[in-house]
């Protein structure tokens, strides 16, 4: 793709668009993509102003005039005076999974991830790196994992605290409001929290919010089929094993089969009672 003159072109974009010159512009994101419907390569350039963003360019890179070379002359360039488009219904419904306040349990406090959690969470994550063998942290490294979590618009990541200190993370992902379905995953806790009830109460708080606050019909879990500790823990919280997805993911050192588990709304009253009983045993 013709990106050779992109740096120069973006400088010209700024000069040609006064709205990009202010200090409130924190970044310009250049996103190469493939329009699969029309089978063409496209380039999208987005300016981000504080909490808002606006599409500057949505251009065909396969056009005869050389793609990125012609960006500053595109009639589509410029900040839309109407401002950014409102979030989609799916994004709004997904945001309903975000709590108004942290989930406070007897053992843990669970709150949406934010930049101020970075260093405390890094300390917990890097204390024993081997615990991440079956997680995305192993593949991405801490900083990339953290950056993607904070920036995510399709997932709802959380930080788990015990005694006021970050000890791990979990999140909602694969959120499908139309089907009243979500997944709880990317969960990890530092080793000293294993067996303390922290994981049980974290799952309980997210499940309760999903079923009772958001109206979920189904909450899914998946893990590496070789991760027998997590598979046992999922059975221990009342999830039902639903099978193995063979050759489901490519990892740096292997091909992963994934074990699938779920709790549905019909199960929730019984699962809730089970989890509350387990939490009482750990917290008392």
* pLDDT reported for residue 208: 98
**DSSP of 170-220:** EEEEEEEGGGTEEEEEEEEE-GGGTTTTHHHHHHHHHHHIIIIII--SEEE
- Domain with residues 90-283, CATH architecture: 3-Layer(aba) Sandwich (3.40)
Phi, psi of 192 (to 5 degrees): -60, -15
Long-range pairs for 48-53: beta carbons < 8 A, 24 or more residues apart? 49/19, 49/22, 49/24, 49/25, 50/24, 50/26, 52/83, 52/84, 53/84
* pLDDT reported for residue 82: 55
119-168 pLDDT per residue, tens: 999 999 988 888 887 777 777 889 999 999 999 989 999 999 999 999 99
d(CA 159, CA 168): 6
Q: Hey, which bits of the chain come out as E strands? A: 25-35, 40-49, 52-60, 103-104, 109-112, 156-162, 165-176, 181-189, 218-224, 240-251, 254-264
Domain limits of the chain?
6-85, 90-283
* pLDDT reported for residue 55: 46
* pLDDT reported for residue 17: 53
In the chain, which stretches have pLDDT less than 70? 1-90, 93
pTM for the whole thing? 0.69
């Amino acid at each position: 793709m013709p990106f050779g003159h992109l740096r120069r072109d973006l400088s010209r974009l700024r000069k040609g668009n006064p709205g990009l010159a202010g200090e409130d512009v924190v970044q310009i994101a250049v996103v190469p993509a493939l329009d699969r419907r029309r089978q063409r390569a496209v380039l999208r350039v987005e300016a981000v102003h504080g909490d808002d963003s606006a599409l500057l360019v949505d251009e065909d890179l396969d056009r005869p005039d050389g793609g990125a070379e012609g960006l500053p002359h595109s009639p589509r360039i410029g900040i839309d005076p109407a401002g950014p488009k409102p979030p989609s219904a799916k994004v709004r419904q997904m945001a309903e999974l975000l709590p108004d306040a942290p989930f406070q349990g007897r053992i843990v406090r669970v709150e949406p991830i934010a930049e101020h959690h970075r260093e405390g969470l890094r300390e917990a994550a890097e204390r024993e790196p081997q615990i991440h063998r079956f997680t995305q942290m192993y593949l991405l490294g801490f900083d990339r994992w953290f950056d993607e979590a904070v920036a995510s618009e399709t997932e709802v990541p959380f930080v788990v605290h015990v005694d006021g200190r970050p000890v791990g993370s979990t999140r909602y992902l694969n959120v499908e409001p139309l089907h009243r379905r979500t997944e709880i995953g990317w969960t990890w806790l530092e080793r000293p929290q294993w067996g303390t009830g922290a994981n049980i109460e974290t799952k309980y708080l997210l499940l309760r919010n999903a079923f009772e606050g958001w109206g979920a019909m189904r909450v899914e879990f998946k893990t590496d089929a070789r991760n027998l500790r997590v598979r046992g823990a999922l059975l221990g919280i009342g999830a039902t094993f639903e099978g193995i997805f063979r050759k489901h993911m490519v990892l740096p050192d292997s091909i992963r089969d994934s074990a699938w588990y779920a709790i549905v709304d019909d199960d929730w009253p019984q699962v809730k009672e089970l989890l509350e009983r387990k939490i009482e045993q750990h917290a008392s």
